Structure 1
Amino acid sequence: MPVCYCCKNDALQPGKKKKKSDAWRVFVLKELQAATNNFNYDNKLGEGGFGSVYWGQLWDGSQIAVKRLKNWSSKAEMEFSAEIEVLARVRHKNLLTLRGYCAEGQERLIVYDFMPNLSVTSHLHGQHAAECQLDWGRRMNIAIGAAEGIAYLHNHAMTHIIHRDIKGSNVLLDVEFRARVADFGFAKLMPDGATHVTTRVKGTLGYLAPEYAMLGKVSESCDVYSFGIFLLVLVTGKRPIERVNPTTKRVITDWVLPLAKENKFKEIVDVRLNGDIVEAEVKRVVLVGLVCVQSEPEKRLTMQEVVGLLKGESREKLEELENYELFIPDLTAGVYASGSEDSLDITEEKDPKKEESTSTSESGVTAR
């Protein structure tokens, strides 16, 4: 049986000394069995392609979410290893914290902090959609927090990291509804000096940058594109691709852009907010989102620029954004492109309220 990268790394092996700053640790299987009542069905929080996620409680009373590999395979082992490797490298207030992992025999488990408020998707399209707990203030804070987490991956992590699967179900919410970007099973570590890498397409329908979906070219700009779609979903409460009638689907940008050009930002906002918004902030988020999802990667923002604009740090840059060529009527044709749907690894976000196998677990940890 192949040995995963994390198990070959001395720093990740049981019994090896780790720096005191490392908060994660290696769990033994019996400890996680006890915490989850032997992975009892009543503790199951969600299920997806990777496996199942269970709620658990450790001996010290702390709550955890445990992602358990469904069936061992070389492909699943690679995703498990990639997620451990990335999470072991990063620490940021807006990234999901790794508590540890377990690799015994063919058991592969990843342990995270439990996120009591689940994911953004669960509040927009899932079991909490009717409750409308995401008021405008929370949505704005989520947008900024998630942007800061991704900017950290791109610019401040020891090795720059491309997430490759940014979407609502991978933005989790802690007890105070602060954003935690999660699920690094598809993440790519960028070699020093590289502008992009070519790889097999993986991700979620509606969030894929066109150059990645069609050519497999992945770069930081692909994450920017996905984040732009996420911003538009967060503001509108709609899905990236919605069925207008039995025979027609509409991409979110096709609906938002004409309204933005006419300065009709109130018509873009999720109706569940009942107009209780800060219109200047809504405008800012929508414009940033639309610039991020242009078909040409070089015309998109960087995540550092996104953070600054969302925070409104520069009035001059905000004015430049408002006067950007994208929002001039004659120059908008062809600025967006649809991604391919042919890759076997492209998934579609499901409504966890309606689907047995969900892309978002009840814990807010993606089970994929």
Structure 2
Amino acid sequence: MYTWGFSHAVMSCCMFVSRSKKTSGLQTFQLNDAVEKVKLYTYKELRAATGDFSPGNRVGEGGFGTVYKGTLKNGTTVAIKVLSNESTQIAREFLTEISAISNIVHENLVKLYGCCIEGNHRILVYNYLENNSLAQTLLGTNRNNIQFSWKTRYKICIGVACGLAFLHEGLLPHILHRDIKASNILLDKDLTPKISDFGLARLLPSNATHITTQVAGTLGYLAPEYVIRGQVTRKSDVYSFGVLLLEIVSGRCNTNTRLPCKEQFLLERIWEHYKQGELERMTDSSLTDDLEIKEACKFLKVGLLCTQEASKLRPSMSIVLKMLTGEKDVELEKITQPGLVSELMQKKMTNQIN
């Protein structure tokens, strides 16, 4: 099942199209500029592509709609996401972001093909990814469907790092994803990872070091400065990537409330094993034949570097990529206590009380 969330950014674009008569001249100009960058599909052709949105073609549910597998007239297989009629959120600031995201082409990012904006229909068309998300296939109920060897996990870690480094450093203005997590990493037929769902993304102007915004995302992946102060930087995404890295190597979700209190949070467990010199115990037990234990432990250490409590201590994604590929040594002396989830929750509660 597809688990990736609906892109609020493009959803906003679609809603603005249907209400363009109510927008100002400036908004209409921005709208037209955004829509020019994506293909407009008719409802009729998307209905035909999915067999009248047949339940048999349904491949997943998201927060704002249903995803169907479809085949276009030219034979292209696509993921077609239908926005539920109850979704009425409009965010004008995302129009500029739509323009940026819709033009992005990168091996490790999903591709938005276009949208349908006829009448009340709000539909997005993406490239289809055959092997769903990491949340489902590695960490979830479908984890036995694919054998995630160490070589495969290495490829996935490197791919996600490449995609995120591109967003952070290969584009101007920089893009902050804000929702890096296992359910937003999709896998194609070759298990090449694609970062998806830019619904919470923000642009970071070249003259800015951070932005302050309402906190959104998934607890467990959120950086301390974001949870406590609503402050987002590229280092906030680095923190989320660090948690994801730990999940991929260990094969465990970052949070598991079914475990005893002291074992519920993956980051805390790995930190304790690191202090005790027993990191190898946190690698996925299903890894056997091709496991490079030294390399796996290195990845866990990089994950700890990415999740440092102070954002200034976290490396940039380009440096993270070099450490993962061996171009740069992991500076162990820089590994200090990470921003632990249980402590973040306590600090947030304290701030709310005060």
TM-score by length of 2: 0.83
Deviations 1:241-284 (A, max 9, x none): 12354666621121112222343332111111136411222122
Partners of 1:185 and 1:325 lie apart in 2 by 32
Q: 1:136, CA displacement in angstroms?
A: 0.6
Give the letter for the 2:55 counterpart.
Y
Aligned 8 A contact 1:79 1:185 in 2: no
CA distance 1:70–1:192, shift in 2 (3 Å): same
TM-score by length of 1: 0.80
For the 8 Å contact 1:265–1:282, the answer to whether it is kept is no
The count of aligned residue pairs is 325
- In structure 2, relative to structure 1, the CA distance for the partners of 1:276 and 1:266 (3 Å cut) is farther
Q: How does 1:50-69 map to 2 (within 5 A)?
A: 50-69=64-83
Equivalent in 13, 16, 30 of residue 3 of structure 1: 16
Question: What stretches of structure 2 of length at least 5 have no aligned partner?
Answer: 1-13, 18-26, 349-354
- What SS does structure 2 have at the residue aligned with 1:273? coil
The 8 Å contact of residues 31 and 95 in structure 2, kept in 1 or not, is answered as: no
Residues 301-310 or 77-86, more deviating: 77-86
Residue type of the partner of 2:176? I
Correspondences of 1:163-312 after superposition (within 5 Å): 163-243=177-257, 245=259, 250-274=264-288, 276-312=290-326
Q: Is the 8 A contact 2:136 2:183 kept in 1?
A: yes
1:324 paired to 2:346: no
Q: Who is 1:155 aligned against?
A: 169
Instruction: Name whichever structure is richer in helix by fraction.
Output: 2
**Shift of the alpha carbon at 1:212?**
0.6
User: CA-to-partner distance for each residue in 1:162-198, whole Å, 9 max, x for gaps?
Assistant: 0000001111111111111110011001123111111
Distance in 2, matches of 1:79 and 1:146, equals 26
Does the C-alpha gap of structure 1 residues 132 and 57 become closer, same or farther in structure 2, counting only changes over 3 Å?
closer
Alignment partner, residue 351 of structure 1: none
Inter-partner Cα distance in structure 1 for 2:57 and 2:258? 37
State how far apart, in whole Å, the 1-side matches of 2:108 and 2:165 are: 10
Q: CA deviation at 1:82?
A: 7.5
Which structure would you say has the larger RCO, counting Cα contacts within 8 Å and 6 or more residues apart?
1
- Sort the Cα spacing of 1:108 and 1:78 in 2 relative to 1 into closer, same or farther, 3 A: farther
2:256 is paired with a residue whose SS is strand
Match of 2:141 in 1: 127
1:183-219 Cα deviation digits (max 9, x unpaired): 0011001123111111111101210111111211111
Q: Kindly state the Cα deviation for residue 325 of structure 1 after the two structures are TM-superposed.
A: 4.7
SS in 1 for 2:208: coil
Q: How does 1:108-147 map to 2 (within 5 A)?
A: 108-147=122-161
Conserved? CA contact 2:116–2:123, under 8 Å: yes
What does 1:85-104 correspond to in 2, within 5 Å? 85-104=99-118
* Secondary structure, aligned partner of 1:46: strand
Instruction: Label 1:277 to 1:184 Cα distance change in 2 as closer, same or farther (>3 A).
Output: same
On the 8 A contact 1:197/1:217 being kept in 2, the answer is yes
Q: Given that residues 186 and 193 in structure 2 are in contact (C-alpha distance below 8 angstroms), is that contact kept between their aligned partners in structure 1?
A: yes
Deviations 1:5-33 (A, max 9, x none): 799433444xx6x7xxxxx5221221111
Query: How far, CA to CA, are the matches of 1:35 and 1:323 in structure 2?
Result: 55
CA spacing shift, 1:335–1:10, aligned 2, 3 Å: closer
Return the alpha-carbon distance in structure 1 between the equivalents of residues 226 and 171 of structure 2.
23
**Match in the other structure for 1:336:** 340
Q: Secondary structure at the match of 2:180?
A: coil
Moved more, 115-124 or 258-267: 258-267
**Structure 1 contact 198–217 (Cα < 8 Å) conserved:** yes
Q: Residue by residue, what CA displacement relative to the aligned partner does 1:295-351 show, whole Å, maximum 9, x if unpaired?
A: 11111111111111111113xx33xx233352xxxxx4x7535444999xxxxxxxx
Q: How many Å separate the matches in 2 of 1:160 and 1:35?
A: 35
Provide the alpha-carbon RMSD of the alignment: 2.7
TM-aligned CA distance change 1:109 to 1:205, over 3 Å: same
Match for 2:340: what amino acid?
Answer: Y
Q: 1:364 maps to which residue?
A: none
Contact 1:6 / 1:85 at 8 angstroms: preserved in 2? no
Structure-2 change in CA distance of 1:116 and 1:341 (3 Å): farther
Structure 1: gaps spanning 5 or more residues = 19-23, 327-331, 344-368
In structure 2, the residue corresponding to 1:263 is in which secondary structure?
coil
Alpha-carbon distance between aligned partners in 2 of 1:110 and 1:61, rounded to the nearest angstrom: 18
Q: Report the more deviating stretch, 162-171 or 100-109.
A: 100-109
Contact 1:198 1:218 in 2 (8 A): yes
Residue 84 of structure 1: CA displacement?
3.8
